[in-house]
Structure 1
Amino acid sequence: MSVRLRLPAALLAATIAGAGFAALPAAATVSRGVTIPDFYTPPATLPAANGTLIRTEPLPLALSLPGLGSRLPGTATRIMYKSTDAGGGAVAVTGAYVEPAARWHGPGARPLVVLAPGTMGQGDQCSTSLALQKGLIIGTEDNQTTLSIGYEVLAMYRLLAKGIAVVQTDYAGLGATDRLHTYVNRLDEGHAVLDAARAAKALPDTSLTAQSVVGLYGYSQGGGAVASAAELQPSYAPDVRLKATYSGAPPANLAEVTAAIDGTELVGALGWAVNGFAQTEPGLRPLLDKYLSARGHDALRNLSTMCVGDALFGYAYQRSSAWTTTGQSLSQIIAAEPALKSFIGEQRIGTRKPAGVVRVATGVMDNLVPHAQARTMAADWCRRGGNVVYAPILLPNAISPLLNHFGPLLTDQGTAVDWLTNRLAGLPAISTCGILPIQP
């Protein structure tokens, strides 16, 4: 039997009861029947500087067409680069850079956009860079199945068609096989985004130059990641020439998101968050042992190798109260436990002025990643002197929280890409902070 190994094994075993991961021979990492390429196994020693390239290789794109002189939409390179996790430790992060076939028609050097993916899952097979290669990932092993779709390709190809170079991050532990993905961790994700820009600039034989400005693009989990990066850039990566950020439906206040997502189609994301929190802060593990029932431990263990499709099929509409010994929901436990409440509070986005101009888009009917907490982030940034363009997306209530969340992703994507392109071309944006109080 082949079972994916997550390291450090002792940490995960202590976090998720009965995980039962078995050691595998080198270069044999398997997750739910999907073999993870050797490329994704980090070396034992990492370089010192953030953004340093660890390794690269050509990445064949699943969706690629012949063009005049080069393939469309461009030429892809799989990358692994060094970043820093929330605890200050070195971490290897994977991703992909795509050199566009299209020309950049704006002024100056070709710009770069870091694309931070939306929720993909927690299994290594769910990584966006692997999805760019395979398109659709399907696997099965020991009655465990997996399904992952590379849905971020649409946003990426829209940017590439405008002549913008794109680098995409997989985040810490999503792809790289040495640790569990720290889902919605503010520092891990913000660092991974900024270091992806550094890594792309370090690649040889690209059209990027020292003068290439940088934009950030992300929706949902990605919206939170780029929002965090915009806050962290002045202190963590002042060398990254951040010009503009599009942050769609950001989970800025995890306490509110945790309460909203419980019992919906995507309740599995709660398991990904808890798994990641316990990896970042081992001191939280005794609380998991205190509150999680056997069913809860099983759910967290199972979710740790799942992608979005798997979680939708396996856990949709369940309530986290069914995973606890007390019958309390995870949001109730967070509110009752000071250590958890403090940890979740540290993940809040909106407490620092962001760099550059930021467009915050949120669906007014979004009740999965609640509209109100995203709007609050924009308002908090305005109060701190940020250059904010707040864009409430008005769509009818689709009843389904998942559709209320993803509807704005599709309807606003073209506008978001055009807005970001204009900012990278040097066109100014007018802040809407003055009218935000009268906007929904």
Structure 2
Amino acid sequence: MAVVAIVFLASAVAIHPAAHADESQYLEFYTPPEPLPAGQPGDLIRTEPSRLVLEPSSQLGRFVGTGTRIMYRSTDAQGQPVAVTGTYIEPDNPWTGNGPRPLLAYATLPYGMGEQCAPSRLFNQGIHASLDTGFDVMFNIEEGFIATLLARGFAIVVTDGVGMGVHTAKSPQWLNRAAAGHALIDAARAAKKLPGTSLDPRGPVAFWGMLAGAHAALSAAELTGTYGPELNVVGTYAAATPTDLATMLGPVDGNFLAGTTGYVLRGIAASYPEFEQPIKDALTPRGLEMYENTGRQCLLQTGIDYEFRHLEFWFKDNIYEMIKAEPFKTVLATQRLGNVKPTGPVYFEHNRWDTFGEYQSVRATAMDYCAKGADVTLWTNEQPPLFNKLSINSFLPEFVDGERSIAWMTDRFNGMPTTPNCGEI
């Protein structure tokens, strides 16, 4: 599917004049105030209406809700206050389940590292295109999930994450457990502080994410007990989660998305600035070029520029040995999920032959949670391996099992009993 989409779009680029997205319209809102106003994590800094479209013309379907762009206070990987952006969507449809309207705090998969790829900007465009800088095209990949959840009465707040979308020189703190968890927890807090919504301040909250977004969702579930204890968290959905970043090297080597190695490296450097120079020193000239380019790209261009590349040409030494030494060893270990009992039930959805986040790593995290007394359900998708280096087994199962996942989440908001399967993992 990824190949077909890319070929189609590449053909369109060749036939039609280059598109030029107007990013200047976002600069005022997305430039954080300096210094940040005084406040607490989750406090709103600024808000404005946000146009919601599934595609640029807004004629082919719609979100049944009203969007509000938000900027709120959160806490980065170093424990420092930071401005984070996102989108809150107030449903048009009523919540027909039990209790007050539920809030879903949603983290997306990585749409890229450039600020133009932020989910809150893609809600306005449906498809981002700015072809004057290359194949800078990106879809709001998860809009179908979000539109479906919204239509069923869930209020939704989607975070951009620390460093994404905001107009600064820094890169997103991507796949950092602390930054990602804080941003999602504080998005829920910010949504509950918005005036004029149908949310109950004490109403139920759940976390939702896939791939990197699933890492953020589980991070939030682990951190809620200490960082957001006032939230009434009733569940967490995590699909295709990379629970142990150290195990991703083999799968990403030679992958269509091999260039996301740059995302990981830039995420580490943004989270721990003292490691930026050691990371650059470890890279070959080809690696440095990849590192710099991916910092301003959306996901499709990263895929096209670095598809099926091998990691050995980007690093001066054996990267598999490098991650066993500092600074990589401690940094990667810090991002592993499973060392802290999550708040509320957790539902893992994972393909047995996932080529991005290894199934055995997810199983190990689920078992760790079970050992800590957590309420865990691991649903194993058995879709057979298909074009492994395109990571189809990472992306497609979430859509195949989407209705099952939504049903599990709906049951959590309705207060239904869970059916954990710790004894079968």
Q: TM-score, normalised by structure 2?
A: 0.90
2:45 aligns with one of 45, 48, 54: 54
- Opposite residue 33 of structure 2, the aligned amino acid is P
Say which of 408, 430, 434 aligns to 2:419. Answer: 430
Determine the C-alpha separation between the residues in 2 that align with 1:433 and 1:72.
37
How much has 1:312 moved relative to structure 2?
Answer: 1.0
- 2:249 alignment partner in structure 1: 258
* Distance in structure 2 (CA, Å) of the matches to 1:65 and 1:210: 35
Give 2:393's aligned amino acid. Answer: N
Residue deviations 1:218-273 (CA, integer Å, cap 9, x gap) = 01011110001000000000011111110111111010023321221111111111
3-state SS of 1:214 partner: strand
Render the CA deviation track for 1:38-70: whole Å, top value 9, x for unaligned: 211111122330000011000011136899xxx
Equivalent residue of 1:279, what SS? helix
Determine the structure 2 residue equivalent to 1:152.
142
Question: Are residues 1:100 and 2:100 paired?
Answer: no
* Aligned counterparts, 1:16-165, within 5 A: 34-35=23-24, 37=26, 38-46=28-36, 47-63=38-54, 72-141=63-132, 143-165=133-155
Q: CA deviation at 1:209?
A: 1.0
Q: 2:210 — aligned with what? A: 219
Query: For residues 294 and 364 of structure 1, what CA distance do their matches in structure 2 show?
Result: 37
Contact 1:34 1:139 in 2 (8 A): no
Deviation of 1:211 after TM superposition, in Å, equals 3.1
Q: Does 1:349 align with 2:340?
A: no
Paired residue secondary structure (1:145): coil
Please give the alpha-carbon distance, in whole angstroms, between the structure 2 residues aligned to 1:169 and 1:344: 23
Bigger mean CA offset, 288-297 vs 154-163? 288-297
Q: 1:353 to 1:383 in 2, by over 3 A?
A: same
Q: Residue 240 of structure 2 corresponds to which residue in structure 1?
A: 249
2:221 maps to amino acid: A
User: Which residue matches 1:269?
Assistant: 260
CA distance in 2: counterparts of 1:368 and 1:323, whole angstroms:
19
Contact 1:193 1:226 in 2 (8 A): yes
Letter in 2 for 1:107: N
Aligned equivalent of 2:314: 323
Amino acid at match of 1:422: D
Name the aligned partner's letter for residue 424 of structure 2.
I
Q: Which of 305, 329, 333 is the aligned partner of 2:322?
A: 333
Cα offset, 1:152, TM superposition: 1.4
Specify whether residues 35 and 267 from structure 1 end up closer, same or farther in structure 2 by C-alpha distance, changes over 3 A only: farther
Deviation at 1:195, TM superposition (A): 0.3
In the alignment, the residues of structure 1 paired with residue 299 and residue 21 of structure 2 have an alpha-carbon distance, to the nearest angstrom, of 13
How many Å apart are 1:153 and its aligned residue?
0.8
User: d(CA) in 2 for partners of 1:314 and 1:33?
Assistant: 23
Query: How far is the alpha carbon of 1:118 from its aligned partner?
Result: 0.9
Residue 378 of structure 1: CA displacement?
0.7
Residue matched to 2:272 = 281
Letter in 1 for 2:362: A
Query: Is contact 1:32–1:144 with CA below 8 Å preserved after alignment?
Result: no
- CA distance 1:297–1:426, shift in 2 (3 Å): same
Secondary structure of the residue aligned to 2:347 is strand
Distance 1:379 1:36, change over 3 A: farther
CA distance in 2, matches of 1:105, 1:429: 20
C-alpha change, 1:33 and 1:334, in structure 2 (3 Å) is farther
Given that 2:202 and 2:231 are in contact with CA atoms closer than 8 Å, whether structure 1 keeps it comes out as no
Shift in alpha-carbon separation, 1:82–1:422, aligned structure 2, 3 A: same
Structure 1: state its 5+ residue gaps. Answer: 1-30
Counterpart of 2:90 in 1: which secondary structure? strand
Map of 2:397 onto structure 1: 408
Q: Secondary structure at the match of 2:94?
A: coil
Give % identity. Answer: 35
Cα 1:318–1:33 shift into 2, 3 Å: farther
Q: For the Cα contact (< 8 Å) 2:52–2:63, is it kept in 1?
A: no
CA distance in 2, matches of 1:72, 1:220: 23
State which of 289, 296, 307 in structure 1 corresponds to 2:298.
307
Q: Does 2:172 correspond to 1:181? A: yes
Cα deviation, 1:86-112, whole Å, max 9, x if unaligned, reads: 101111111000000111001111010
Unaligned runs of 5+ residues in structure 2 are 1-19
Q: Relative to structure 1, is the Cα distance of residues 365 and 66 closer, same or farther in structure 2, using a 3 angstrom cutoff?
A: closer
- For 2:74, the aligned partner's letter is S
TM-aligned CA distance change 1:103 to 1:127, over 3 Å: same
Question: Structure 1 residue aligned with 2:384, among 393, 396, 400?
Answer: 396
Instruction: For 1:419 and 1:208, locate their aligned partners in 2 and report how far apart those are by CA, in whole Å.
Output: 21
CA distance in 2, matches of 1:248, 1:256: 17
Q: Match of 1:82, SS?
A: strand
One-letter code of the match for 2:423?
Answer: G
